[in-house]
Amino acid sequence: MTSEATQSVTASPARNSGAGSDEAILSVRGLETHFFTDEGIVRAVDGVDIELQPGTTMGIVGESGCGKSITAKSILQIVEAPGRIVAGEIVYNPKPGESSETDILSLGSNSDAMRSIRGGEVSMIFQEPMTSFSTMHTFGNQIDEALRLHTNLSKQERFDLAVDWLARVGIPNPVQRMHEYPFRFSGGQLQRAMIAMAMCTNPRVLIADEPTTALDVTTQAQILDLLQRMQEENDMAVLFITHDLGVISEIADDVTVMYLGKVVESGPVFSFFDDPMHPYSRALLTSIPSMFTSSRERLPSISGSIPHPQNRPSGCAFHPRCQSFMEGTCDVREPELVSVNEEQEVSCFLYEER
Ligand code: SF4
């Protein structure tokens, strides 16, 4: 583990009216995932802490390449080579009365215990449904395999449950679709089929990586509604990754903003929208249209682009793009994530005095 301070993020049940118990289902502590390439080491996730409580949703936002998806994949130990988790722990807490807490990273990525957690207790909806299904098997075969691995249901019960889930996510003719191959599904249908597959095992934690990107707004609203109902029924914790701040405002209890593998701000969703503190958070929010934006008005954009992780700027990684840059400070030292009030944490020298 590096000496750099880890970033702390908590989806707090105290801020969510429908929240469950205080005990975290999943605690990620000091997670570091690096990619060992011929050109050097890329620190894709660089010391992130996450606590997920039952019945809460944490939204993770940030531009592409900031480490959101790699954080999610690290939790399930499905980071592809040359990536490797090099430090941290990921503690999963089973239901009260079941076996004791488990450090997921102590399990082999292909062990039976890990397979039981992955797709059963902790499910994931992937960003790219087109490449996430096997083209060689029917959808029915694939969802049946998930149910066979994670439930004790009979073959007929598994079939009926899969059909029920296809219907719940709005796929017409679900019985017929069970016998079809994924190439027969449209992009939106594949996305919904993936949601059905992730939810059918009744997970306690759902990681949703851009789950509604390929969907039209009506279907998106239906899917978000479905996820929220599932969450209420099962006290499920959700880690929701998206670029869409409109979706975040709808579904999240807490928001985490990531930039170049680090958390730069975290706090309750209303604080993020009412009083964003980090200059990057403010820039993200000013670059989305509001109800008062006229149709021809140019939206402000964040200057520059996210640097390549191998060319990480000195000091604060956001300093080449920051409107509040302070020469001699921001380009020299790296700010730590600190509490600025009871609920918000931010890593920026503007708040150092607090
Ligand atoms: Fe901007 Fe400096 Fe704050 Fe970084 S530390 S966000 S460069 S003001």
State the Cα–Cα distance between residues 205 and 53, nearest whole angstrom.
9
State the Cα–Cα distance between residues 263 and 338, nearest whole angstrom.
11
pTM for this model (two decimals): 0.86
CB 188, CB 219: distance < 8 Å:
yes
pLDDT value at position 216?
A: 79
CB 105, CB 76: distance < 8 Å:
no
Q: Summarize pLDDT for 184-209 with one digit per residue, the tens.
A: 988 888 888 998 999 899 899 999 99
Q: Is the pLDDT score of 36 beyond 90?
A: yes
CA-closest residue to ligand 1 atom 5: 348
Instruction: Provide the pLDDT confidence category of residue 176 given band limits of 50, 70 and 90.
Output: very high
Distance 285 CA to ligand 1 centre (A): 17
Domain annotation for the chain: domains and CATH numbers: 3-121+203-272 (3.40.50.300)
Q: Is the pLDDT score of 281 beyond 60?
A: yes
CB 151, CB 185: distance < 8 Å:
no
CB 179, CB 162: distance < 8 Å:
no
Q: What's 243's DSSP letter?
A: S
Q: Is 45 left (phi over 0), alpha (psi -120 to 50) or beta?
A: beta
pLDDT value at position 214?
A: 67
Ligand 1 pocket test: which of 323, 330, 332 has the largest number of ligand atoms within 8 Å of its C-beta? 330
CB 214, CB 129: distance < 8 Å:
yes
- CB hemisphere CA count around 347 (13 angstroms): 26
Distance 319 CA to ligand 1 centre (A): 6
Ligand 1 pocket test: which of 260, 306, 324 has the largest number of ligand atoms within 8 Å of its C-beta? 324
Atom of ligand 1 nearest to the CA of 323: 1
Q: Summarize pLDDT for 45-99 with one digit per residue, the tens.
A: 998 988 899 999 999 998 888 899 999 999 999 999 899 999 999 999 877 666 6
Distance 60 CA to ligand 1 centre (A): 20
